[in-house]
């Protein structure tokens, strides 16, 4: 081999091993870490760099069935890197179920943490693909047993060209809060180019079962729900493809809340496109609906497309060939704030079972649009129709929309108003845009003719009606033969209609593309006149109805009986009437409800009639409670027929008979007579009875008097002093005395009274205690007595008894003796009718009694080294002498109530008095030797010695007990005195004891602590791997170094020439330099590694690749590199002169106003490395292309401040005109380069939609005309 060739081969080998080119990493086991694990493969791919694509393949032995890689929630996989393919289909063996996945990656554990939990994390990555994996979530919340809201199968932040699944390479992603989550963050921004194809989300791998089995179960249930909360969730993105152009590329998605959510770009100049095709949502792989309740199938929010929004051949949103089902669902498709032309075609929205909806289910809205400007639902001919069925809140609900075309679709058994156009005028205020409408006003079943009205020059589509009770089109009649052009007068007709197949409905689509609601019966009530019924319940009417749309009608009463076939209902009774309006003989009908008021003359007394009688013979009677009904006048008449009042209430009349009469213009009616009586009070005392009092009680009475007409009077019994003694006709429970009855109507000044009547008193038995005497007991003895009591006014025989305060019998004679101290009472009962007589309570006292009260007794033990025992707290009453006796030797040890300063022993207190000679003894009390006062350490801390220094410490900060009663001392190893401070510093390794002595002299050990010497950290540099830096790409690295500590975490600090370069165990992304590592443990003990040198390496870079371009002459273009390399710079060179044209780090070059064919060269440089020269060719052609914005923001920020037409190629403009919504011209010009700044005569115009028209000549000299709308935002 020649020497130059050998040198070349050696150079290539060095460049290949150092530059980090493409590689394949093989996963060979299910371990969570280590060689052959998925974690190790991801880390190796990351270290290999991102300049080319790496592959992670699988070859895991199937020892016990399909391979399962288990990931714990607290040991997540590292984030992925760019240019990476993870392909689970490379795993040997059969796929799982009916999917393409061949192995399972399972996230497991239970946690309530709020950190994100995911299998794969993609942060700002480019060109990443994930295939053939079953990603399941077995992590759960202990409280709810459902997936926590922070679990994501695949988490994406920003980036571009991300593929999840492909043809025959789909994944299964189930059990997650969000299966695929492209998060919108300020740091990452939008994702560009996300493709999701061939996946199963929210079901088991068989594509049918809604559970994940019981292995690693979530919570207490036997099976785990496979359903995701969200399927595909794109927080912000463009170029989104969910599904594909064939059924095999579509996804099967089953979610609780939203299956597919996408938010597009929403700013001027954005070019956002999203395609959702061939997906089965809420339907399994066999096409059967999934028996669960679901939310929204597809939701799109805030889309803007720079390419003209009216371009039907390049729409920004395409939703086609999707099947949407489930047992119940809130919405099929929801779109809001869409400023891009969209297509919805060939979809089946709503499941069907045996020609009906799923049993027990409920569907909300089929398609719901809010503030969407233009789009096509269905097509302009057969072949693109959607099927929309069983939606009880509407098949298509348009809120604040403009040009929404709805044609050739099949809708049936939806809400009565299947298509709704709501808030049309608020969103389209210009008088040139009327709300699209259509009516059917004539139907001839014999000649097969139908006629109606619609907006002039619109198109009317004819549909067969469904068999449900509504008006909607189940099938378009006959293609273009059933499309009628409306004339300039707004009238249309159609003949040869096949009425034999049922009834028909129609829609109308105007020139702007806005489709009306389905034709339906409709009336105009603006001139409605309703007349109420008068006398004899006749004369009511409802007239003035106008038929807007409808061919047959009739009036029905509340019982369903036909009462008329004219539009005017007349001469009927009051009540509820129904106007039934239909189109043809089918189900398309509508019922309007009207009420004819009851104006029949009547007198209402339902509130109750009140008759007020006269008093004291005056004219103060009244009758109230009548209410005239439908009357024009009224009057009151007396018994003679004379008119006495014209008021509604009759007042201030004398007693008599009266009635109330009312009138209207045709008739009158009257009540029966009502009687007003006279109320004057009176007294009848012919049967009076007076009863005397007995037994000294107030039990006298006066009865038998009768009182009349007391409704407004007061009744009072008064004694001879004028005091009130009663308020009823009978006076009861009265004391002896004289009384009279007075009845008085004080308001009207009339009344009656009786004379005075006397109630006498009968004498009663009495206990006389005037001569009574009490002899008290003494010294707790029964030597007291009660004598001298007499009885008066008794009737023999007399029964007597003495009782004490416990009601025990103490004697049955008048005199009572041999009594102890206490309370006594005498009871007597004679032969008369009076109740038992009781004497007062008599007290016999206990003179000279002594009491010893020990409730506050306190016995204190004597101390360990001092005599301090005591007995205190005894309270003594009735004694004047006391002694404390030591019962062991019967000696006197004290003569006060408190016994102090004695030793251990038994003691008794003996007391007496000298007046009565009484004495008493206390209990015997025992004084013991005191125990040590309890004390223990409640809080203490210590620190071991470290770094081979005597720097240990102990601190006691809190005790259980009163530490003020103690003195302290520390001992080291039970012998060396270390002082009395509760905190010790600078301690050597040893055992330390804390002794405490209390106020009684008792000592105890209360704390013990061992202080050890902690080990130093360890540094292992045996397996260090050093990589050098290639082409200044910072590919250098230092890995394989290991440090450990037995006492806690290790801190790493890398330095390059004494400048800190990193804080991790391994150092990557390095340029040339000299590096060393300092490691330290939690105690601050530090070790230093040896020095490592990273050297620079120079090699050849791959040549950049560009596509040749063909562009219009004088237009601009961008050269985009197809194999970008980060960290390098690109140079655009003129090959003829060799001069540098542009230089940047992206590899993308902007060229403006290219007017001729060109050949250019591009070279790549990185540090001292460079690439071969690449060539790119630009071919120019002659065309005319206009790019007209659909929004601009004239707010002075320098971005999109003007409405500007961009011309590619040649265009000679004749004029540009811009109008507001009311048709007023606000701007015009003949210069193509003159912009509109959103003003009229120098004043800013309001935010809103404006309409433009531009005309001119193209490159071929032919006339070119364009029209559309632009939104002005601020």
3-state secondary structure 570-620: EEECCEEEEEEEECCCCCCEEEEEEEECECCCEEECCCCCEEECEECCCCC
Mean residue pLDDT across the chain: 88
How far is residue 1173's CA from residue 1164's CA, in Å, rounded to a whole number? 8
DSSP 1114: T
3-state helix, strand, coil in the chain (%, to 5): 5, 50, 45
- Over residues 1172-1227, the pLDDT tens digits come to 999 999 988 888 888 899 899 999 888 899 999 988 778 889 999 999 877 789 99
In this prediction, what percent of the chain has a pLDDT beyond 70?
A: 94
How far is residue 851's CA from residue 780's CA, in Å, rounded to a whole number? 11
Evaluate whether the domain defined by 766-847 bears CATH number 2.40.30.10.
no
Burial class of residue 335 in the structure, from the number of CB atoms within 10 Å of its CB (0-12 exposed, 13-18 middle, 19+ buried): buried
How far is residue 1218's CA from residue 1169's CA, in Å, rounded to a whole number? 56
Q: What is the pLDDT of residue 145?
A: 56
CA-based R_g, the chain, Å? 54
Please state, in angstroms and as integers, the Cα–Cα distance from residue 945 to each residue in 950, 975, 1228, 1273, following that order: 6, 21, 88, 70
**Mean pLDDT, to the nearest integer, of 236-243?**
95
Q: What is the pLDDT of residue 3?
A: 39
How far is residue 786's CA from residue 802's CA, in Å, rounded to a whole number? 11
Residue of 1180, 1133, 1176 lying closest to 1157 (CA atoms): 1180
pLDDT at 763 over 90: no
1018-1097: CATH superfamily: Immunoglobulins (2.60.40.10)
Phi, psi torsion values for 18, nearest 5 degrees: -105, -20
- With beta carbons less than 8 A apart as the criterion, state whether 154 and 163 touch: no
Evaluate whether the domain defined by 936-1011 bears CATH number 1.10.1740.
no
**Mean pLDDT, to the nearest integer, of 785-813?**
89
Phi, psi torsion values for 1063, nearest 5 degrees: -130, 15
Q: What is the DSSP string of 146-207?
A: S--TTEEEEEEES-EEEEE--TT---EEES-SEEEEEE--TTT--EEEEEE-S-EESS-TTS
**Mean pLDDT, to the nearest integer, of 334-358?**
94
Name the E strands within 175-321: 178-183, 191-196, 200-201, 228-234, 237-243, 252-253, 255-263, 274-277, 280-281, 293-304, 317-320
- With beta carbons less than 8 A apart as the criterion, state whether 839 and 814 touch: no
Q: What is the pLDDT of residue 22?
A: 60
Residue of 436, 429, 483, 439 lying closest to 455 (CA atoms): 436
How far is residue 993's CA from residue 971's CA, in Å, rounded to a whole number? 5
Residue of 943, 942, 941, 949 lying closest to 1085 (CA atoms): 949
Sequence-distant (6+) residues with CB within 8 A of 925 are 857, 859, 871, 906, 907, 908
Sequence-distant (6+) residues with CB within 8 A of 1127 are 1032, 1033, 1034, 1145, 1166
CATH topology of domain 1109-1181: Immunoglobulin-like (2.60.40)
- With beta carbons less than 8 A apart as the criterion, state whether 271 and 242 touch: no
Q: Within the chain, which residue ranges are assigned CATH 2.60.40.1220?
A: 1184-1272
In this structure, of 6-15, 600-609, 945-954, 1107-1116, the range with the lowest mean pLDDT score is 6-15
Determine the Cα angle at 480 with ends 476 and 482, to 5°. 50
CATH of 682-759, picked from 2.40.180.10, 2.60.40.10, 1.10.3720.10, 1.10.10.10, is 2.60.40.10
How far is residue 346's CA from residue 354's CA, in Å, rounded to a whole number? 22
Please state, in angstroms and as integers, the Cα–Cα distance from residue 1021 to each residue in 1039, 1042, 1062, 1089, following that order: 10, 7, 18, 8
Q: What is the pLDDT of residue 143?
A: 63
pLDDT at 217 over 50: no
- With beta carbons less than 8 A apart as the criterion, state whether 1221 and 430 touch: yes
Q: What is the pLDDT of residue 1154?
A: 85
How far is residue 406's CA from residue 619's CA, in Å, rounded to a whole number? 82
- With beta carbons less than 8 A apart as the criterion, state whether 385 and 379 touch: yes
- With beta carbons less than 8 A apart as the criterion, state whether 1200 and 279 touch: no
Q: What is the pLDDT of residue 216?
A: 39
Name the E strands within 379-476: 387-389, 396-399, 403-407, 410-412, 419-422, 439-444, 449-453, 459-465, 473-476
CATH topology of domain 851-927: Immunoglobulin-like (2.60.40)
Q: Which of 246-260, 520-534, 909-923 has the highest mean pLDDT?
A: 246-260
In this prediction, what percent of the chain has a pLDDT beyond 90?
A: 49
pLDDT at 847 over 60: yes
Q: What is the pLDDT of residue 602?
A: 84
**Mean pLDDT, to the nearest integer, of 297-312?**
73
- Over residues 459-511, the pLDDT tens digits come to 999 988 887 878 898 988 865 457 889 989 999 998 866 655 667 899 999 98
pLDDT band, very low/low/confident/very high, at 295 (cuts 50, 70, 90) = very high
Q: What is the pLDDT of residue 636?
A: 95
Residue of 316, 320, 297 lying closest to 306 (CA atoms): 316
pLDDT at 269 over 60: no
Q: How many CB atoms lie within 10 A of CB 988?
A: 12
Burial class of residue 880 in the structure, from the number of CB atoms within 10 Å of its CB (0-12 exposed, 13-18 middle, 19+ buried): exposed
- Over residues 1046-1082, the pLDDT tens digits come to 888 899 999 998 899 899 888 998 889 999 999 998 8
- With beta carbons less than 8 A apart as the criterion, state whether 171 and 101 touch: yes
How far is residue 269's CA from residue 1273's CA, in Å, rounded to a whole number? 13
How far is residue 159's CA from residue 42's CA, in Å, rounded to a whole number? 18
Cis peptide before 797 (omega within 30 of 0): yes
- Consecutive H or E run containing 44: helix 38-47
- With beta carbons less than 8 A apart as the criterion, state whether 941 and 982 touch: no
pLDDT at 214 over 70: no
pLDDT at 310 over 60: no
Q: Within the chain, which residue ranges are assigned CATH 2.60.40.10?
A: 411-523, 602-679, 682-759, 766-847, 1018-1097
Element counts in the chain: helices (H) and strands (E): 3, 128
**Mean pLDDT, to the nearest integer, of 843-866?**
86
The SS3 call for residue 672 is: coil
pLDDT at 267 over 80: no
- With beta carbons less than 8 A apart as the criterion, state whether 487 and 513 touch: no
Q: What is the pLDDT of residue 1098?
A: 87
pLDDT at 1041 over 90: yes
Residue of 346, 379, 368 lying closest to 414 (CA atoms): 368
**Mean pLDDT, to the nearest integer, of 280-285?**
96
The strand pair at 990-998 and 1003-1011 is best described as antiparallel
pLDDT band, very low/low/confident/very high, at 220 (cuts 50, 70, 90) = very low
Residue of 214, 226, 210 lying closest to 147 (CA atoms): 226
- With beta carbons less than 8 A apart as the criterion, state whether 774 and 731 touch: no
Phi, psi torsion values for 1125, nearest 5 degrees: -125, 120
In this structure, of 63-72, 832-841, 870-879, 997-1006, the range with the lowest mean pLDDT score is 997-1006
- Look at domain 411-523 and name its CATH class: mainly beta
pLDDT at 140 over 90: no
- Look at domain 524-596 and name its CATH class: mainly beta
Q: What is the pLDDT of residue 11?
A: 33
Q: What is the pLDDT of residue 711?
A: 75
- Over residues 1108-1126, the pLDDT tens digits come to 888 888 778 899 999 998 8
pLDDT at 20 over 80: no
The SS3 call for residue 249 is: helix
pLDDT band, very low/low/confident/very high, at 304 (cuts 50, 70, 90) = confident
How far is residue 643's CA from residue 47's CA, in Å, rounded to a whole number? 114
How far is residue 843's CA from residue 146's CA, in Å, rounded to a whole number? 81
How far is residue 97's CA from residue 209's CA, in Å, rounded to a whole number? 10
Q: What is the pLDDT of residue 1082?
A: 87
How far is residue 600's CA from residue 597's CA, in Å, rounded to a whole number? 9
Identify the CATH number of the domain defined by range 602-679: 2.60.40.10
DSSP 1063: -
How far is residue 126's CA from residue 82's CA, in Å, rounded to a whole number? 5
- With beta carbons less than 8 A apart as the criterion, state whether 411 and 473 touch: yes
Q: What is the pLDDT of residue 265?
A: 85
Q: What is the pLDDT of residue 1153?
A: 84
Q: What is the pLDDT of residue 954?
A: 93
Q: What is the pLDDT of residue 1057?
A: 87
- Look at domain 1184-1272 and name its CATH class: mainly beta
Please state, in angstroms and as integers, the Cα–Cα distance from residue 284 to each residue in 101, 132, 204, 249, 279, following that order: 17, 19, 10, 15, 10
The strand pair at 816-819 and 650-653 is best described as unpaired
Q: How many CB atoms lie within 10 A of CB 1197?
A: 8
Sequence-distant (6+) residues with CB within 8 A of 1197 are none
pLDDT band, very low/low/confident/very high, at 866 (cuts 50, 70, 90) = confident
- With beta carbons less than 8 A apart as the criterion, state whether 1268 and 307 touch: no
């Amino acid at each position: 081999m020649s020497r130059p060739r050998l040198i070349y081969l050696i150079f290539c080998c060095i460049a290949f091993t150092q530059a980090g080119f493409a590689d394949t990493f093989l996963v060979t086991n299910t371990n969570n870490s280590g060689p052959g694990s998925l974690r190790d493969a991801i880390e190796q791919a990351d270290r290999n760099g991102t300049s080319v694509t790496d592959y992670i393949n699988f070859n895991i032995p199937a020892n016990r069935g399909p391979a399962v890689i288990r990931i714990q929630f607290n040991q997540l996989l590292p984030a992925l890197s760019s240019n990476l393919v993870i392909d689970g289909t490379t795993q040997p063996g059969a796929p799982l179920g009916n999917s393409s996945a061949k192995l399972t990656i399972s996230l497991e554990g239970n946690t309530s943490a709020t950190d994100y939990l995911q299998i794969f994390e993609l942060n700002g990555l480019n060109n990443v693909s994930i295939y053939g994996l079953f990603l399941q979530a077995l992590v759960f919340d202990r409280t709810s047993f459902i997936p926590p809201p922070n679990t994501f199968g695949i988490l994406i932040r920003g980036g571009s060209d991300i593929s999840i699944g492909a043809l025959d390479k789909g994944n299964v992603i189930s059990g997650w809060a969000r299966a695929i989550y492209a998060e919108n963050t300020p740091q990452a921004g939008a994702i560009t180019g996300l493709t999701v194809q061939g996946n199963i989300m929210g079901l088991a791998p068989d594509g049918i079962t809604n559970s994940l089995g019981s292995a690693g179960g979530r919570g207490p249930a036997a099976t785990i729900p496979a359903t995701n909360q969200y399927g595909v969730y794109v927080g912000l993105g463009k170029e989104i493809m969910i599904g594909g152009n064939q059924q095999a590329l579509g996804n099967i998605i089953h979610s609780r809340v939203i299956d597919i959510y996408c938010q597009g770009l929403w700013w001027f100049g954005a070019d956002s496109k999203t395609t959702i095709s061939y997906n089965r949502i809420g339907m399994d792989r066999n096409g059967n609906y999934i028996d669960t309740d679901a939310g929204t199938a597809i939701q799109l929010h805030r889309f803007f497309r720079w390419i003209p929004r009216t371009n039907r051949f390049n729409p920004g949103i395409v939703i086609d060939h999707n099947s949407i089902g489930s047992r119940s669902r809130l919405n099929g498709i929801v779109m809001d704030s869409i400023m891009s032309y969209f297509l919805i075609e060939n979809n089946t929205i709503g499941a069907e079972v045996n020609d009906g909806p799923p049993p027990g289910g409920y569907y909300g809205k089929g398609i719901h649009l809010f503030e969407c400007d233009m789009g096509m639902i269905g097509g302009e001919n057969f072949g693109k129709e959607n099927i929309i069925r069983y939606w009880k809140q509407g098949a298509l609900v348009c809120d604040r929309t403009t040009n929404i075309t709805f044609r050739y679709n099949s809708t049936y058994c939806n809400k009565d108003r299947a298509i709704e156009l709501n808030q049309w005028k608020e969103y389209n205020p210009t008088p040139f845009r009327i709300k699209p409408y259509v009516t059917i006003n004539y139907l001839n079943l014999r000649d097969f003719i139908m006629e109606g009205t619609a907006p002039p020059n619109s198109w009317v589509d004819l549909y067969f009606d469904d068999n449900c009770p509504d008006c909607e089109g189940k099938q378009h009649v006959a293609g273009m033969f059933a499309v009628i052009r409306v004339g300039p007068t707004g009238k249309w007709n159609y003949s040869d209609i096949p009425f034999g197949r049922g009834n028909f409905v129609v829609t109308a689509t105007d020139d702007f593309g806005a489709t009306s609601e389905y034709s339906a019966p409709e009336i105009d009530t603006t001139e409605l006149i309703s007349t109420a019924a008068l006398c004899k319940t006749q004369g009511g009417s409802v007239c003035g109805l106008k038929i807007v749309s409808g061919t047959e009608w009739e009036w029905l009463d509340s019982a369903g009986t036909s009462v008329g076939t004219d539009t005017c209902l007349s001469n009927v009774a009051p009540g509820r009437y129904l106007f039934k309006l239909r189109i043809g003989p089918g189900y398309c009908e509508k019922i309007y409800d009207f009420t004819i008021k009851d104006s029949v003359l009547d007198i209402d007394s339902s509130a109750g009639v009140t008759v007020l009688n006269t008093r004291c013979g005056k004219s103060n009677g009244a009758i109230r409670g009548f209410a005239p009904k439908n009357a024009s006048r009224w009057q009151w008449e007396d018994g003679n027929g004379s008119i006495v009042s014209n008021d509604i209430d009759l007042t201030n009349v004398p007693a008599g008979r009266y009635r109330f009469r009312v009138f209207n213009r045709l008739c009158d009616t009257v009540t029966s007579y009502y009687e007003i009586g006279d109320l004057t009070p009176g007294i009848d005392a012919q049967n009076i009875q007076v009863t005397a009092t007995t037994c000294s009680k107030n039990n006298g009475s006066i009865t038998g008097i009768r009182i009349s007409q007391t409704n407004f009077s007061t009744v009072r019994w008064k004694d001879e002093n004028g005091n009130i003694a009663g308020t009823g006709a009978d006076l009861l429970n009265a004391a002896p005395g004289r009384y009279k009855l007075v009845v008085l109507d004080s308001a009207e000044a009339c009344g009656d009274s009786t004379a005075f009547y006397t109630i006498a008193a009968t004498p009663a038995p009495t206990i006389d205690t005037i001569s009574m005497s009490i002899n008290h007991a003494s010294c707790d003895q029964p030597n007291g007595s009660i004598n001298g009591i007499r009885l008066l006014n008794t009737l023999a025989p007399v029964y007597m008894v003495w009782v004490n305060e416990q009601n025990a019998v103490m004697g049955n004679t008048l005199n009572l003796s041999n009594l102890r101290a206490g309370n006594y009472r005498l009871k007597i009962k004679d032969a008369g009718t009076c109740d038992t007589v009781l004497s007062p309570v008599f007290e016999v006292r206990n003179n000279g009694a002594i009491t010893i009260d020990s409730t506050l007794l306190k016995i204190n033990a004597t101390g360990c080294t001092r005599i301090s025992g005591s007995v205190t707290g005894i309270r003594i009453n009735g004694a004047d002498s006391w002694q404390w006796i030591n019962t062991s030797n019967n000696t006197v040890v004290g003569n006060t109530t408190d016994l102090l300063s004695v030793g251990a022993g038994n003691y008794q207190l003996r007391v007496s008095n000298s007046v009565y000679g009484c004495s008493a003894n206390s209990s015997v009390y025992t004084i013991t030797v005191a125990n040590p006062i309890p004390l223990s350490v409640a809080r203490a801390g210590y620190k071991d010695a470290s770094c081979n220094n005597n720097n240990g410490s102990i601190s006691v900060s809190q005790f259980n007990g009163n530490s003020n009663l103690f003195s302290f001392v520390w001992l080291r190893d039970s012998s060396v005195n270390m002082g009395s401070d509760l905190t010790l510093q600078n301690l050597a390794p040893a055992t330390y004891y804390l002794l405490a002595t209390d106020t009684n002299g008792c000592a105890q050990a209360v704390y013990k602590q061992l202080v050890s010497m902690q080990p130093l950290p360890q540094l292992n540099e045996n397996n260090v791997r050093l990589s050098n830096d290639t082409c200044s790409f910072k590919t250098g690295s230092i890995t394989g170094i290991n440090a450990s500590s037995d006492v806690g975490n290790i801190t790493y600090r890398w330095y390059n020439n004494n400048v800190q370069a990193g804080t991790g165990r391994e150092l990557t992304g390095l340029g040339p330099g000299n590096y060393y590592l300092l490691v330290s443990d939690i105690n601050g003990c530090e070790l230093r590694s040896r020095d490592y040198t990273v050297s620079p390496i120079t090699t050849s870079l791959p040549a950049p690749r560009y596509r040749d371009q063909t562009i219009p002459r004088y237009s601009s273009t961008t050269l985009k590199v197809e194999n970008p390399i980060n960290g390098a710079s690109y140079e655009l060179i003129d090959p003829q002169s060799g001069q540098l044209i542009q230089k940047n780090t992206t590899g993308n070059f902007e060229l403006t106003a290219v007017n001729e064919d060109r050949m250019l060269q591009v070279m790549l440089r990185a540090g001292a490395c460079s690439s071969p020269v690449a060539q790119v060719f630009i071919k120019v052609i002659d065309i005319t292309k206009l790019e007209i914005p659909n929004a601009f923001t004239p707010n002075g920020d320098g971005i999109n401040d003007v409405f500007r037409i961009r011309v590619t190629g040649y265009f000679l403009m004749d004029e540009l005109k811009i109008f507001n919504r009311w048709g007023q011209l606000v701007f015009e010009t003949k210069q193509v380069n003159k912009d509109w700044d959103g003003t009229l005569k120098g004043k800013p115009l309001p935010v809103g939609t404006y309409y433009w028209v531009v005309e001119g000549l193209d490159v071929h000299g032919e006339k070119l005309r364009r029209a559309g709308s632009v939104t002005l935002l601020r």
